Copies of this chain bind each other. A is one copy, B any other.
């Protein structure tokens, strides 16, 4: 059976009752499991992690878009994380032996329906991109919600589905297919966002850092500290511990320290066991060495 993860990122991270309604909508599809809800008030953003078959996820996501469009007004939204839509980005991720094509098909089907039903401009990204320039989410998101009307004046930015006109309160939405991504943030002992931004620049692949790592630097006013926000797009190329070690070294070179980290959503067992394995200097650590895993296999 085809089995997908879907990780919608919604532009609401502060109102608990709205987050609860978004989560309930996301969980409503038949057979869909809501595995995690991670909200951040500074980012003003919630990441929902769902798993299910393509049909169940399609129905869950339509409910989620409906609730998000009713509840979120981007003209009143602020947060440190860049965003272009009420439902900012919706990636589908193949799980187990499911082929990537199934995730691409789920993205296309959802994009068409969301455009038709809600009048939202839809951009397909990463493995679902139809235009090479749209593979990278950061490129699509450039200019953010506020800058998108100007961007849409350029015919090269006509959406893949839906009208070439920004929705007044919900902006646009980005839907796609990709491999498993680990979102991992490092909180610094400084309030200086410039340090976090410099560390992010030195760590990320696009400016010559670690392979398969994306990074941004933020200031989290609620915590009063700066944060390096990491996306590991292939933890087999750069592991959690390798990324953290590099962030620690770059921060130390600027006189700052990593005080703690956070994992957003879920991480594959292989990546977590990998962190334990590397830290413990074990040549290998298969899941079968973990008592509980060994008992349930």
**Chain A residues with a Cβ closer than 8 Å to the other chain, count:** 43
Check if A260 is an interface residue, CB within 8 A of chain B: yes
Check if A66 is an interface residue, CB within 8 A of chain B: no
In the complex, per-residue mask of A262-297: 1 if CB is within 8 Å of any chain B CB, else 0: 110011110011011011111101011111111110
Check if A35 is an interface residue, CB within 8 A of chain B: yes
Number of copies: 2
Which B residues are CB-close (under 8 A) to A275?
275-276, 279-280
Which B residues are CB-close (under 8 A) to A241?
279-280
Check if A244 is an interface residue, CB within 8 A of chain B: yes
In the complex, per-residue mask of A234-246: 1 if CB is within 8 Å of any chain B CB, else 0: 0000001100100
In the complex, per-residue mask of A249-271: 1 if CB is within 8 Å of any chain B CB, else 0: 00000000011111100111100
Closest to A268 in B: B291
Which B residues are CB-close (under 8 A) to A291?
5, 35, 95, 180, 266-269
- Known contacts A272-B285, A272-B290, A293-B269; is-contact A280 B36 (Cβ 8 Å): no
Q: Shortest Cβ distance from A240 into chain B, in angstroms? A: 6
Establish whether residues A279 and B278, one from each chain, have CB atoms under 8 Å apart when the complex forms: yes
Check if A178 is an interface residue, CB within 8 A of chain B: no
Check if A6 is an interface residue, CB within 8 A of chain B: no
Establish whether residues A289 and B261, one from each chain, have CB atoms under 8 Å apart when the complex forms: no
- Mark out the residues of chain A between 122 and 146 whose CB falls within 8 Å of any chain B CB in the assembled complex: none
9 closest Cβ pairs, A-B complex:
A279-B279, A275-B276, A276-B276, A269-B292, A266-B291, A35-B294, A261-B281, A269-B290, A272-B276
Task: Show the binding face of A for B, using Cβ within 8 Å.
Answer: 5, 33, 35-36, 51, 95, 180, 184, 186, 240-241, 244, 258-263, 266-269, 272-273, 275-276, 278-283, 285, 287-296
Q: Could you pull out 13 A-B pairs where Cβ atoms are within 8 angstroms?
A: A35-B291, A36-B288, A240-B276, A240-B280, A244-B280, A260-B283, A261-B282, A266-B294, A269-B290, A269-B293, A273-B276, A275-B275, A287-B292
